[in-house]
Amino acid sequence: MRLSLLLFGFLFFASGKIQAQTDVAFYDYPQNHLDWYTVESEHFLIHFQEGNSRSAQIISRIAEEVYDPITSLYQYEPDEKVSIVIKDREDYSNGAAYFFDNKIDIWLPALNTPLRGTHNWLRNVITHEYTHIIQIQKGMKRSRKIPAFYLQWLAYEDVRRPDVLYGFPNGILTAPFATVNVPAWLAEGTAQFQTSGLLYETWDSHRDMILRTRILSDTYFSLDEMGTFSSKTSLERETVYNQGYAFVIYLADRFGEDILRKITENLGKRGVYRVAEAIEIATGIPGDKVFDDWIADRKKFYEAAVSGINPTESDTVESKGFFNFHPQLSPDETKVAYLSNKFVDYAVLSLYIKDADGKDKEIAVVNDLKVRDSREHTAALEPAVSFLETSFSFSPDGNKIAYAINKRNKYGEHYRDIFVYDIQKDKSKRLTNSARIEYPAWNNKGDKIAAVQYSGGTQNLVLLNPDYKDSISTLTSFESSETVFTPAWSPDDSKIYFAKADLSNRDIYFYDTKTGEISPFLADPYQDYRDPFIGPNGKFLYYATNPEGIFNIFRQDLDTKETEKLTSVIGGAFMPFVSKEGQLYYSEYQPDGYKIMKADEEMLIRATNKGLYEPEFSDKVLQSGPNVDYLNKLNKFDDTDIRPFSQEAHAIADTGNYAFQIPTID
């Protein structure tokens, strides 16, 4: 079928009221200098600003294509068109569903998290948030116009004067009654599950890593603990997502996909407030018993799956915090640097530099502030911004470090820019302004910095001159929502290796700096290749990948193409760096998060791969059914045909309506 749409524009978009479900952190979201437009289709209104017309069209297509599979599963349709607001004025990734308002917010930059695998962002997030709208509205005890009500009793002191009607209030009793009581794990689990057969979100190696380590260490959340995000760290909140997704898969596999609708319907009944009771009504089995059965099933499977793993012997470089990333040595190998969130409960990362032998006091670089001996100055380590999270790079002489950090511009937008920190002068110099750029990597000659720049929903590889501001030259010409990660130079600066993703998973490519050609180096649709690093002698490419279902560090001989596995872990190993002496530094996921580890060359495992480790359950197996052919077509989506609106289209929309059509999968 073809999707008929209308485009119309207006100068200012605002709801005119405060949305009750909006996080207060976004009340001051910038209403900036760019005009707003709306794409209207049969079931949706897509609101976007200049520069995002391609993404708006893709989102309109996705929303209409998944409308029927999601509404059919829950046998529910919204009472009016759902508005989707595209936000692209800050380097932040997320989605939010306001189910009382029939509204969805989408932050356009693709999600890049160390706690999930790589999936097509727009296909994933639109379906995820729309599932929230449908599933939670289905579970409401009343209409969406009544979010809650309460009964209140007030008591007053005795009246002391005859002209006073009431005395001073001295007692109050409030009994609230919520109209929605869908627990966090069920809401997020169903939004990730979406519907059987749809591959926009899948159970991946990262998710399995988190669940596997939690189950094996008996640190998993109980059914009640999964019900809320409150009083939890960032890692614990992701664990709610993770366990919820896995438990939903188990429920669908054991009882059939319709069980998700039945549990949701039961939560919408008056008098049913515990999800365990809703599960029992739907299955005939007490909900706590079903949960315990799932835990026992997973524990049995994981214990057998890892029984043959002989873990790599390694030393811990950093154990504090649950996010510790991108370890690397200074060029003279006297210092080790890495990113860490130690001393905080959230994903707020700082750059740490300390003596490689562990004897010297450490330095923390937080924004433009250098703090010595952070163990004695934890209060000073509170970062001024929230997202110093991409890789950084030493200059060849070891005197400077290039890093990316979010900065607020004159319009109130927060964009990532590249800064160069001078270790000797203890100062930072800004190289870009509102460039939306990250992953800096210094070349070996010292006259260029490779980085990744974002624009219009797509990332590209770029070059910077470290001696000049805003000296950006673009190397690649991706234009269809591709994402790019972690560039790494070859020793002679003739190639730049980088990870790239399009539909799902990451592959490793290289860019020839002499010819400008781009070629795949390691690619497999069923395997994820990431974190490329060229060893000090230029002989090997080191990387992380998951042929066994568990991420480990591998290396490939660039001449012979022979591949060796270097680590063997229960959780996952990522972000390799190899010293001149052959020591391997990497980030390892353990039950309580990512830690920086170090292994000597003789401690590394060089052996053939263990038998393939594959999670036993799958949320996507769909052999038959009324939607199987349609869903299989959706899984073969191709949005490369959509291009931005022309100037003529914008001009017409400014004064009226611009009608057009987009082909969709029928």
Binning pLDDT at 50, 70 and 90, where does residue 627 land?
confident
Which pLDDT value is given to residue 2?
Answer: 64
Tens-digit pLDDT profile for residues 81-115: 999 999 999 999 999 999 999 999 999 999 999 99
Cα Rg of the chain, angstroms: 26
Gap between the Cα atoms of 276 and 290, Å rounded? 9
- Asked if the model's pLDDT at residue 388 lies above 70, the reply is no
β 363-366/369-372 pair status: antiparallel
- Residue ranges in 256-310 assigned as alpha helix (H): 258-267, 275-283, 287-305
Q: What local confidence, expressed as pLDDT, does residue 26 receive? A: 52
What would the pLDDT profile of 471-486 be if each residue is shown by its tens digit? 999 999 999 999 999 9
**Residues of the chain above pLDDT 90, percent:** 69
- pLDDT computed for residue 13 by the predictor: 36
Quick one: tokens of 149? 């009500």
pLDDT at 391 over 80: yes
Three-class DSSP category at 413 = coil
| Per-residue pLDDT at 27 | 53
The reported pTM is: 0.91
Average pLDDT score, the chain: 88
pLDDT of residue 422: 87
591: pLDDT strictly greater than 50: yes
Look at residues 604, 535, 592 and name the one whose alpha carbon lies nearest to residue 324: 592
- The confidence score (pLDDT) of residue 376 equals 40
DSSP-derived secondary structure for 119-142: B-HHHHHHHHHHHHHHHHHHT-SS
84-87 long-range CB contacts below 8 Å, 24 or more apart?
Answer: 84/44, 84/45, 84/46, 84/47, 84/59, 84/126, 84/129, 85/13, 85/47, 86/46, 86/47, 86/48, 86/49, 86/52, 86/55, 86/56, 86/59, 87/29
pLDDT greater than 70 at residue 20:
no
Answer whether residue 639 shows pLDDT above 80: yes
**pLDDT, tens digit, for every residue of 163-189?**
877 777 888 898 887 788 999 999 999
Question: In the prediction, which pLDDT does 51 show?
Answer: 92
Q: Tell me what the mean pLDDT of segment 251-275 comes to.
A: 94
Separation CA 237–CA 243 (nearest Å): 10
pLDDT value at position 329?
96
- 493-503, pLDDT tens digit by residue? 999 999 999 88
Structure tokens at 576: 């390799």
- Cα–Cα dist 566/557, whole Å: 13
Candidates 178, 192, 187; CA nearest to 263 is 187
Give the tokens for residue 39.
């794409």
More confident residue, 97 or 381: 97
Residue 504 — pLDDT band, cuts 50, 70, 90?
confident
- Give the C-alpha separation, 447 to 469, whole Å: 13
| Tokens standing for residue 188 | 């997020």
Which alpha helices (H) appear in 412-543, and where do they start and end? none
Phi, psi of 594 (to 5 degrees): -80, 135
pLDDT reading at 28 higher than 60: no
* Per-residue confidence band for 346, with pLDDT thresholds at 50, 70 and 90: confident
Q: Span 380-406, mean pLDDT?
A: 74
